[in-house]
Amino acid sequence: MPQMSRQDPLIEHHTVDYVPLAERHGKARDLFTLWFSTNIAPLPIVTGAMVAQVFHLNLLWGLLAIALGHLLGGVVIALASAQGPRMGIPQMVQSRGQFGRYGALLIVFFAALIYIGFFISNIVLAGKSIVGIVPSVPVPASILIGALSATAIGVIGYRFIHALNRIGTWVMGSALLAGFVYIFAHDLPADFLTRGGFNAAGWLATVSLGIIWQISFSPYTSDYSRYLPADIGITRPFIATYLGATLGTILSFAFGLVAALATPEGTEAMVAVKQATGALGPILMVLFLLNIISHNALNLYGAVLSIITSIQTFASHWTPSIKVRVVLSGIILAGCCVVALGASADFIAQFIGLILALLLVLVPWASINLIDFYIIKRGVYDIASIFQADGGVYGRFNLHAIVAYFIGILVQLPFANTSLYVGPWANLVDGADLSWLVGLAVTCPLYYCLATRKHTQNVRAVKLGYSD
């Protein structure tokens, strides 16, 4: 990415508006470093340890399931990311081209809720990490330090987020590889290769978890590719995002699995990391803390864009300024800190359960988004209509998308296996939530059939002069 000139402000000045072609910058490889570094973090490592501790897979079957799940799910996040250079707008704003100006509000609401949920969870986790490294720092102060640091990064915005993750790719990637080397260079338990085994339920649950993990990023991936030059195409952003997201998560999940197998059975995941990596343990803990803060900036950035998108839906002529983004960031920071400071000991587990349950609403959205962009409209949208008060050629509500969306949610419910709701058919495969598979299988063909009729009318409208 080129160095900033005098015309390039330190703080990003665009919010949910279209990024003009003259202001596009960066290279596709920036997407690799962003998504690789973002996923070298405690949460995926802890989740990877579950493969041995909860799903009882051995090293070989666990690694195969981890790789397959993320390689399949990575297609979704990469396809969503590749839309950014073509559209030049945030992912949630783009949803107006599929659901209509007001129809997209529900999707934006769920996205904002997910961002805020992860932001709170991560500042609690950052606070606990700071206390673990420096026990003399009080927990409330630790939480505030983590929250303020993430907010500062999120306020500065796009350029700084990418710059940090370029550095983070080398630092976190090297640290994780050093951790692998340390573990395998020392004595391993006698049952390292034989602990666990193969069981269909655990294997499918691990594959499913990897797919869901990747899908969960899809509502905001193009937020970080919308500044790339429009002529960069689809293939390069797709490959860069796919490789970054899949390699980062596979390495982190695998590290958690290896650390769990390298320590006595039943050892808590992050304790296992400390024990298995010996002298490297404290260094890894500090780096993980910095990565939590850096990654949490993405959650704040996405939450602010989602809220601005909601407000701007009712004020089509309003173009939010830098000040608006700073003020909203401050409001979110204050509210999240209040919740985090009063959080219970098991708050993170409870909130993550809630967020994972909300993935029920993301699967049909991702299905509609990808079918609409790549098959029906083939990347051709009328940007002017997306920002018009009446929705232009996309209207205020697109009933075809809304009907397909709600049916996509309903068909998942009988198969859902979440902390909030367990469907009657949730245990067809014990421990595996396969509702996402049903959602994809129903929503994709349903939306395609409904939307192809509507698309013909929209194409005619664009040709008649609605397009910018």
Spatial neighbors of 383 by CB under 8 A, at least 6 apart, are 18, 87, 88, 89, 468
Residue 94 to residue 283: CA distance in whole angstroms = 41
pLDDT reported for residue 110? 84
What b/e readout covers 415-439, taking b as 16+ CB neighbours within 10 angstroms? bbbbeeeebeebeebebbbbbbbbb
In this predicted model, what pLDDT tens digit does every residue of 125-157 receive, in sequence order?
788 778 878 888 887 888 888 888 878 776 776
Contact status, residue 337 vs residue 145, Cβ threshold 8 Å: no
Distance CA 395, CA 386 (A): 9
Residue 259 lies in a domain: yes
Q: Is 56 left (phi over 0), alpha (psi -120 to 50) or beta?
A: left
Q: What domain count does the chain have?
A: 1
What pLDDT, on a 0 to 100 scale, did the predictor assign at position 140?
A: 83
- Residues 347-377: b if buried by 16+ CB within 10 A, e if exposed: bbeebbeebbbbbbbbbbbbbbbbbbbeebb
Q: At residue 12, what are phi and psi to the nearest 5 degrees?
A: -60, 130
Residue 393 lies in a domain: no
Cβ–Cβ < 8 Å for 210, 72: yes
177: CATH: 1.10.4160.10
**Cα separation of 374 and 179, whole Å?**
40
Cα–Cα distance for residue pair 425/20, rounded to 1 Å: 49
> How does pLDDT run across 408-449, given as a tens digit for each residue?
999 999 988 877 778 888 877 766 778 888 999 999 999 999
Residue 381 lies in a domain: no
pLDDT single digits (tens) 241-250 = 999 999 999 9
Are residues 31 and 240 in contact, defined by beta-carbon separation less than 8 angstroms? yes
Query: What pLDDT is recorded for position 7?
Result: 47
Q: pLDDT class for 347, splitting at 50, 70, 90?
A: low
More confident: 318 or 338: 338
Chain segment 274-333, per-residue pLDDT in tens: 889 988 888 888 888 888 887 788 788 888 888 888 888 888 777 777 778 788 888 888
Per DSSP, 273 falls in state H
- Residue 291: what are its φ and ψ, rounded to 5°? -70, -35
pLDDT tens-digit map of 165-221: 788 788 888 989 999 999 999 889 999 999 999 998 889 889 988 988 898 888 888
DSSP class of residue 416 equals -
CB atoms < 10 A from the CB of 291, how many?
Answer: 24
Percentage of the chain with pLDDT > 70?
89
Amino acid at 379: G
Answer yes or no: is 462 within a domain. Answer: no
Q: Is residue 295 part of a domain?
A: yes
Distances (CA, A) of 181 to 128, 163, 187, 192: 27, 28, 12, 15
Inside any domain, residue 132:
yes
Element containing residue 375 per DSSP (H, E)? none
What confidence score (pLDDT) does residue 192 get?
Answer: 92
CB 388 within 8 A of CB 466: no
**pLDDT interval class at 161 (50, 70, 90):** confident
Would you place residue 5 in the very low, low, confident or very high pLDDT band (cuts 50, 70, 90)?
A: very low
Phi-psi region of 11 (alpha: psi -120 to 50; beta: other; left: phi over 0): beta
Segments forming the whole domain that contains residue 258: 21-353
Q: Give the 3-state secondary structure of residue 197.
A: strand
458 falls in which pLDDT band (50, 70, 90)? low
Domain-embedded: residue 358: no
Give residue 158's pLDDT.
61
Entry pTM? 0.85
pLDDT in tens, 355-406: 667 778 889 999 999 999 999 999 899 999 998 989 899 999 999 999 999 9
Task: Determine the Cα–Cα distance for residues 15 and 18; give it in Å rounded to an integer.
Answer: 9
Given a contact cutoff of 8 angstroms between Cβ atoms, the answer to whether 228 and 456 are in contact is: no
Q: Do 179 and 258 form a contact (C-beta atoms < 8 A)?
A: no
The token pair that represents 169 in the structure block: 């790719």
**Span 42-52, mean pLDDT?**
87
Domain contains 413: no
- First vs last Cα of the chain: how many Å apart? 29
- Which residues, in sequence order, are bridge partners of residue 432? none
C-beta atoms surrounding 53 within 10 Å:
21
Please enumerate in sequence order all residues whose Cβ is within 8 A of that of 429, keeping only pairs 6 or more positions apart, or say none: 200, 201, 204, 205
The tens digit of pLDDT for each residue in 11-29 reads 666 667 788 888 888 888 9
- Encode pLDDT of 32-45 as tens digits: 998 998 888 888 88
How far lies 349's CA from each of 120, 157, 207, 352, 371, in Å?
12, 29, 21, 5, 33
